[in-house]
Amino acid sequence: MAKRPLSLCSLALLLCVGTTQAASQSLPIQQSLSVISQPEHQAQLHQLQQSAQALQLHVKERPRPAGRASVSLQPMFSSQSGSWPFEPFVNNGLFRAIAGYQAHHPQAVILRGGSITLAQLQQSLNDPRILKPYKDGYLLSYPLMIGSDAGLIVEGTSLYLYSYSGTALINQGWLGLNQSRLESVAGDKPGNTERAWRPFVVAWAGSHTQVIGSTLERLGYNANLSRGLSTALSSQQAAGTAQATLIVRNSHFNNLSSAVELQHTLAQINDSRFEQSQQYAVDVRDSQVNLLDNQVRGIDNNSGIRLRGHTEARVERNLILGAHKAAIEVSDQRGTLLLRANLIGDSRGNGVQLRNLAPSAQAPLLIEDNLIGNSQGSAVDGSEVSGVALINNRIGNTPEYAISLRNAAPLAGPMILSGNTLGKAGKAVVRVEGMQQVVLGGNRFEGKPLLQNLMIGDLLSVQGQLLEATQRQGTVVRINTVGAGLPRDAI
């Protein structure tokens, strides 16, 4: 809808509504409004953008270990020295699934001291019950662990993981999929577990995994470190162990529990498709990650992308459609976060959901140049957020709010809304509660000022002044909200 100029009658009506509702509040607030010069405002935005751009994450491909790996079968123990790579899966169904296939104490294929292809591995094992030719590649029926000095090369072929036998890939070293396919095969026998179980890939801290031009399908089930392709730092590894590294490029993930689950990891994921994930497409905690130019479609239970913990992330130019919860969910996160130029739509919850965040000038939360619409909740919904900058976004087509931020107790801010196109919201365009400093300027509102409040919450009582200053006069306004009961200052 084209922007309609606000008449003096409209402004007068808005001022009247704002004053009346403010007078009815049990705890009136003091607000001071001041104009920020354009040079000062642009300098503030430039500083935010520079701080976000300073987040440069470079993940290099690691050469695979030299020489040919040795291959052995070793017993898997649940609790003894050296068994830690298997321990998390004792109660997850892996050992029970193995027991339904192996007639002896569970064994795993172990790679050490070099790299090996699937053809070489099949030749070394020479046992079809473990690895055999199948369709256009090979069928693996035993768990396989890649030692810290070893590598598994899957190139130009397919590796099928047999579900019935408790197959999994456990990487402590180097795993490379190039122009290949990794897929589970259920077979015609029922699994020997109390719940659904599917093969998975886990990569421990210090390892390197790369997935290039490849497809991963029907992997993972909803249990810790078993949801698809997971990385983690084990409690048995030293805290100073190097991060796992992950490169995903030009690949396709289809029907995984959570396609990629990252902990203690440096990751680059770009130009890839994630479809029909059960929990999350990408779930990140305590990691550094670039998510660039990906497509996420269809998340059955949760959000498309979730970011948590001590995480730094660039999430740029992604298409995220059809998430059950939020397209992008950020919770209890500390670290620089840049959400830029993403296309977000058709979320059954919120478009972007922010919870319990405390960004700083050195580690900002910047949401810039995104298109966010057609969510069933609010386009951007935040609570307990101490500061956020929303710059040059197009946000709307929501039955709730275009932007909603509510803090139970006042937090310092600032919340910066600059250069956004905001509108077509069912309740109000902007709701702000509990933010001590808000900066508004250069926004375009596509609401209907005579039919709904464009701003509610703490901004309702000064809505008229804000619209006059920012829309009519083209200025940038800083609103400081402090304690109760004193008259508001005019601009």
Taking only the tens place, the pLDDT of each residue in 231-281 is 999 999 998 999 999 999 999 999 999 999 999 999 999 999 999 999 999
Contact 427, 402 (CB under 8 A): no
Contact 400, 429 (CB under 8 A): no
Residue 207 identity: S
What residues are paired with 212 via a beta bridge?
178, 249
Q: Which of 3-12, 293-302, 397-406 has the lowest average pLDDT?
A: 3-12
Half-sphere exposure of 118 (CA within 13 A, CB side): 26
Section 165-184 average pLDDT: 96
Between 333 and 56, whose confidence is greater?
Answer: 333
Contact 429, 460 (CB under 8 A): no
| 3-state SS class at 290 | strand
Taking only the tens place, the pLDDT of each residue in 182-196 is 999 986 554 444 456
- Alpha-carbon distance 278 to 280, whole Å? 6
What was the pLDDT predicted at 58?
A: 87
> What is the phi/psi pair of residue 118, to 5°?
-65, -40
Section 89-116 average pLDDT: 86
| 3-state SS class at 234 | coil
Between 350 and 5, whose confidence is greater?
Answer: 350
Taking only the tens place, the pLDDT of each residue in 27-84 is 567 889 999 999 999 999 999 999 888 888 889 999 999 999 999 999 887 666 667 8
List the one residue out of 299, 214, 280 whose CA is nearest residue 249: 214
